[in-house]
Amino acid sequence: MRLSRYFLPVLREDPKEAEIVSHRLMLRGGMIRQEAAGIYSWLPLGLRVLKKIENIVRREMDRAGALEMLMPTLQPADLWRRSGRYDDYGKEMLRIVDRHERDLLYGPTNEEMVTDIVARFVQSYKQLPLNLYHIQWKFRDEIRPRFGVMRGREFLMKDAYSFDLTREDGEHAYNRMFVAYLRTYAALGLKAIPMRAETGPIGGNLSHEFLILAETGESQVFFDAAFHEKDWAAFDIDYDDRAAVARVVEEFTTMYAATEEMHDNVKFEQQVPEGRRVSGRGIEVGHIFFFGDKYTRPLGAKVLGPDGKEVYLQSGSYGIGVSRLVGAIIEASHDEAGIVWPEPVAPFQVGIINLRQGDAACDSACEGLHDALEKAGMEVLYDDASERAGEKFARMDLIGLPWQVIIGPRGLKDGVAEVKHRATGARENVGLEQVGAYLAESWRAHEGMVWQGRLSSYGSR
């Protein structure tokens, strides 16, 4: 993609409404534009990141056996009256009346709807287990939206819902999602620590939230430094092997980790040796719940079991804040110059900077490389603007593409381009002909990496 044909409205100065880093960088980098408090348009660059995250989430959900579907943003109020949440949810729920005076609402979540679907179509235990999910926009009319897309009113969420015959089956479904979440965050290049959570208005009794560490996190977290030593890479797992899945859950839940609401200082000090007690701020990027028959009972989701008896289904729900993750990742990965995208979610893999636009040698070298890289399947953004070097460097650093190829008359004399790694700042002169191979190899080396920095660098920025 040539920058001259792209739409990337970067801002030189910080918009005054943005306080926290991710919000500032997203606005400055031309990723989003605010339309109202907590409501954003996603510009091309921002959308690319959003889609990458969405696709990784989708891939891992599919891998864990969940089935994608799509439910509407608007829901009939009746469904919510049946579960009793129409009144319970309060003003956070955006209520709408259509031309026939029917009450609708912009869905803040989908337990009622999916449970109703299952109730209608599932009659036998033979149709179980079932895990249905969708990735859809939600709306919660927050009292005070803030932090850009991290706490917007409209947000993109992946929400999955499991349905099982027995409590044991339901818990296995919960465990599967737990493991799928570990894998998902690892695939995004993140370490998200699972912490036992309160169940809040969604209800139920088994619940964990997943937090990534960042200075600007909304809640205080306390955990065992042993989490640092865990293998966070996207390990393989047989999701049907109940014992194996349970073992992973066990492994990640025995170490102490709690948000401030659940924190118990006495236990913390008993369970964690002094040198390993870590405290910091965390951003919640996922939340899973198991709630038994809390929704299936009022909505009549029951099946006949093998014994011919009617049983209410055991269900759980599993959310990942997809749009929130865009901001959260930036909070966890940036420097003074701008965003530092983890490879898997970068909007483009490589940026090419032409330092002397209009110079025949520079132009042809850049164009040749651009075409060759695209042909090789890489996502490339070629800065072909006729601006000064400084502006190009600053812009490329701001939008945080993992690799930059800098081409100017100076290096071209010797037939080389300069390849810069955004995360480390490391630069290397590479022969023009070798750039493609060099990038392909570098990419492979970094792609699957769960960055060491993610956990240990907390507090250093």
Partner RNA sequence: CGGGGCGUAGCGCAGUCUGGUAGCGCACCUGCUUUGGGAGCAGGGGGUCGCAGGUUCGAAUCCUGCCGCCCCGACCA
Q: Which two tokens stand for residue 232?
A: 């966070």
Q: Does 358 bind RNA (CB under 7 A)?
A: yes
Stretch that binds RNA, among 240-248, 369-377, 400-408, 439-447 (CB under 7 A): 400-408
φ/ψ of 11, rounded to 5, equals -110, 140
Q: Which region among 6-14, 71-79, 303-311, 448-456 touches RNA (by CB under 7 A)?
A: 6-14
| CA separation, residue 81 to residues 53, 85, 443 (Å) | 34, 6, 52
The answer for residues whose C-beta is within 8 angstroms of residue 236's C-beta and 6 or more apart is none
CA 122, CA 113: separation in Å to the nearest integer?
A: 14
Residue 107 binds to RNA (criterion: CB under 7 A): no
- Tokens 């850049």 locate to 366
Taking the least distance from each CB to RNA, the nearer of 119 and 177 is 177
Helix axes of 44-63 and 167-187: crossing angle, nearest 10 degrees: 140
Q: Cis bond leading into 347, ω under 30°?
A: no
**Residue span binding RNA (CB under 7 A) among the ranges 198-206, 231-239, 301-309, 365-373:** 198-206
Residue selected from 21, 26, 31, 34 as contacting RNA according to rule CB under 7 A: 34
How many Å apart are CA 324 and CA 288, to the nearest integer? Answer: 16
Rounded to an integer, what distance in angstroms lies between the CA atom of residue 354 and that of residue 371?
14
Stretch (H or E) spanning 153? none
Q: Note whether 426 binds RNA by CB under 7 A.
A: no
Stretch that binds RNA, among 17-25, 50-58, 188-196, 453-461 (CB under 7 A): 17-25
CB atoms within 10 A of CB 417: 26
What's the min distance (Å) between Cβ of 24 and RNA?
10
Decide if residue 415 touches RNA (CB under 7 A).
no
Using CB under 7 A, which residues numbered 282 to 321 contact RNA? 284, 286-287, 319, 321
411 part of the interface to RNA, by CB under 7 A: yes
Shortest separation between residue 123's beta carbon and RNA, angstroms: 32
Helix (H, G, I), strand (E, B) or coil at 418: strand
Q: Does 183 bind RNA (CB under 7 A)?
A: no
Q: Which chain residues interact with RNA by CB under 7 A? A: 10-20, 23, 34, 36-38, 140, 142-147, 150-153, 155, 157, 200-202, 209, 218-219, 284, 286-287, 319, 321, 323-324, 337, 355-356, 358, 388-391, 393-395, 397-398, 406-412, 418, 420
